[in-house]
């Protein structure tokens, strides 16, 4: 595959919005030319509990699952999941919660958007760069 432009952001959980402390829990990558939209997030409740012990982990897990359904275009994501990939990406990137917040959108040109998703998840969520 030849290099394609990608846009991406990191999803942060903010257990205490008044302090501003946040922990990364997922990454979303989009490439319009490659017709790609992917989301990778921590789904294990025990890992989420370690990241945000003060939150309702069951609710956070369901919320992340619904965001994954939207990214995948899965009907479980509701009407938003029926939108085009770029519209879903912008919907996912829009701040709408005090507890789960997207970082600013960044851009990069890569050979494989899915490899970028894996790389960003390892580096920015798992802390393995």
Instruction: Place 6 in a pLDDT band, splitting at 50, 70 and 90.
Output: very high
Please say whether the beta carbons of 43 and 69 come within 8 A: no
- pLDDT over 70 (residue 18): yes
pTM: 0.94
Instruction: Place 17 in a pLDDT band, splitting at 50, 70 and 90.
Output: confident
- For the chain, give the mean pLDDT: 93
Q: What is the largest CA-CA distance in the chain?
A: 45
The residue among 14, 17, 5, 11 whose CA lies nearest residue 104 is 11
The residue among 9, 75, 2 whose CA lies nearest residue 38 is 9
CA separation for the pair 82, 59 (Å, rounded): 23
Please say whether the beta carbons of 23 and 40 come within 8 A: no
Instruction: Place 98 in a pLDDT band, splitting at 50, 70 and 90.
Output: confident
Mean of pLDDT values over 90-114: 94
Domains of the chain, by residue range, sit at: 4-125
């Amino acid at each position: 595959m030849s290099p394609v432009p990608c846009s991406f952001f990191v999803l942060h959980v903010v257990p205490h919005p008044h302090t501003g402390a946040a922990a990364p829990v997922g990454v979303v990558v989009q490439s319009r030319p490659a017709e790609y939209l992917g989301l990778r997030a921590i789904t294990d409740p025990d890992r989420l509990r370690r990241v945000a012990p003060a939150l309702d982990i069951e609710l956070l897990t369901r919320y992340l699952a619904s965001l994954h359904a939207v990214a995948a275009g899965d009907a479980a994501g509701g009407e938003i999941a029926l939108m085009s990939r770029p519209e879903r990406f912008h919907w996912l990137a829009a701040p709408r919660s005090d507890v789960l917040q997207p970082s600013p959108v960044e851009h990069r040109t890569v050979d494989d958007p899915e490899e970028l998703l894996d790389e960003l998840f390892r580096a920015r969520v798992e802390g393995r760069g």
